[in-house]
């Protein structure tokens, strides 16, 4: 009995407070007061009872404008007013302001793929460092595996307009008797078996490779500058390839080697060294490329390409043996979108070493340029002349 009397007494004490709350809820608010209350509620969900919030929402939604279009319903700007509020990340806590309405997707912009790397114990957003993950236009290279790039045009001349030139990955047999090219699009190109002849060049240590073969009316050919090891295996090669029939041939230029091993890359990064590469391009051998790769904890590269008619510069990131340009590191004369430089470091320290790469840029004046090149490590030996 005493327990029941205590409960009854508490209920009687609560009646005045309930009456006050009901009176406050029943007291009409001005439109300005309602707007201020909703603003406070957006930052503090406990600013007022839900009944008062709903009443203010209904009051403002019912306002008839004197002129102009109807006001946007509160539900359109309040992400927590709809039936799915419980499943929305926007309604999981108090907010400093109303969440903005969603905008249309940026379908016309080609942003590079990104990710955010943050300290797992960081509490401040400023400690999160945005990083770019740039996807190479052509498949990249794995450490210690054969790797090269090629241009592809119709016909047997190896050259064509940039707009009609495609890129692909090329692989070459160590003895030069076969090659295969995997285009960005279309079916792979596989050479027929070829016989090879390597003759000396005036520049010591290098040779001229000529490989030819025919099966019926299909023929294949390589004409390349090469560097071999003591066993006669080709370590670096660059220049001309052709495959097909007389009426339906494809051809182009290439640069090839074996991507630097993971152990070699680890040694370069541990030493924080910078390696310079230089040499002629293949499609236009009057163009000279110069690139510097800075190894270390955050490897990167810069480069320039120059001939008598034009020049441009670029820079970018290094991932394993692969190099790719960043859009914000081209010189100002590189115009439009879709420009890139992609490459791979081939060879090992102390032996034949180079950098195979492709460029696809549009320059003010000259227009679009596509090329492929093998640049030599300037420390390892002389530059291969075309």
> Taking the mean position of all CA atoms in its chain, how far away is CA 241?
30
The whole-angstrom separation of Cα 322 and Cα 382 is 23
Report how far apart, in Å, the C-alpha atoms of 52 and of each of 22, 23, 82, 168 are: 10, 11, 17, 67
The half-sphere exposure of 102 on its side-chain side, counting CA atoms within 13 A, is 6
Strand (E) or helix (H) holding 288: strand 288-294
- Domains in the chain: ranges and CATH: 31-60 (no CATH), 146-258 (2.40.128), 262-377 (2.40.160)
What number of residues does the chain have?
386
The whole-angstrom separation of Cα 307 and Cα 12 is 95
| Closest residue by Cα to residue 111 from 357, 363, 299, 328 | 328
Are 17 and 24 within 8 A, CB to CB? no
- The strand ranges marked E within the chain are 114-117, 129-132, 146-154, 166-172, 179-183, 189-190, 195-200, 207-215, 218-228, 234-244, 249-258, 274-280, 288-294, 300-306, 311-319, 322-325, 340-347, 353-363, 367-377
Sign of CA dihedral 36, 41, 47, 48: positive
In 3-state terms, what secondary structure has residue 215?
strand
pTM of the model: 0.65
Give the mean pLDDT per block of 10 residues along the chain (386 residues): 47 46 56 74 70 75 49 40 43 33 32 38 45 70 95 94 95 96 88 95 80 97 93 94 95 97 96 94 96 96 97 96 96 95 94 95 96 86 48
Residue environment code for 68-107, b if the CB has 16+ CB neighbours within 10 A, otherwise e: eeeeeeeeeebbbeeeeeeeeeebeeebeebeeeeeeeee
Are 237 and 172 within 8 A, CB to CB? yes
Are 317 and 323 within 8 A, CB to CB? yes
């Amino acid at each position: 009995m005493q327990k029941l009397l205590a409960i009854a007494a508490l209920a009687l004490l609560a009646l005045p407070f309930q009456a006050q709350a009901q009176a406050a809820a029943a007291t009409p608010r001005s439109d300005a007061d309602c707007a201020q209350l909703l603003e406070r509620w957006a930052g503090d969900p406990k600013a007022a009872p839900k009944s008062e919030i709903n009443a203010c929402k209904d009051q403002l939604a019912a306002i008839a404008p004197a002129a102009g279009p109807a006001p946007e319903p509160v539900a359109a700007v309040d992400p927590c007013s709809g039936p799915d509020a419980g499943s929305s990340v926007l309604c999981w806590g108090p907010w400093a302001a109303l969440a903005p309405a969603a905008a249309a997707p940026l379908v016309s912009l080609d942003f590079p793929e990104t990710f955010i790397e943050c300290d797992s114990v960081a509490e401040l957003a400023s400690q999160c460092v945005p990083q770019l993950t740039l996807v190479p236009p052509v498949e990249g290279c794995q450490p210690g595996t054969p790797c090269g790039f090629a241009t592809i045009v119709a016909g047997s001349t190896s050259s064509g307009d940039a707009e009609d030139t495609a890129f692909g990955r090329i692989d070459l047999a160590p003895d030069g008797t076969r090659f295969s090219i995997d285009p960005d699009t279309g079916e792979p190109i596989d050479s027929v078996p070829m016989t090879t002849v390597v003759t000396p060049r005036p520049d010591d240590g290098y040779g001229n490779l000529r490989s030819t073969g025919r099966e019926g009316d299909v023929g294949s050919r390589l004409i390349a500058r090469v560097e071999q090891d003591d066993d006669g295996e080709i370590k670096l090669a660059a220049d001309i390839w052709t495959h097909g029939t007389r009426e339906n041939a494809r051809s182009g230029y290439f640069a090839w080697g074996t991507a630097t091993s993971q152990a070699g890359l680890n040694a370069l990064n541990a030493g924080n060294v910078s390696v310079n590469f230089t040499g002629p391009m293949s499609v236009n051998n009057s163009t000279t490329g110069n690139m510097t790769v800075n190894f270390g904890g955050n490897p990167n590269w810069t480069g320039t390409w120059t001939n008598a008619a034009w020049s441009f510069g670029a820079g970018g990131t290094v991932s394993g043996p692969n190099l790719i340009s960043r859009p914000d590191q081209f010189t100002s004369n590189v115009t439009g979108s879709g420009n890139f430089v992609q490459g791979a470091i081939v060879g090992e320290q102390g032996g034949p070493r180079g950098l195979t790469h492709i460029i696809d840029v549009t320059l003010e004046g000259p227009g679009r340029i596509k090329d492929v090149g093998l640049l030599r490590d300037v420390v390892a030996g002389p530059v291969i002349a075309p």
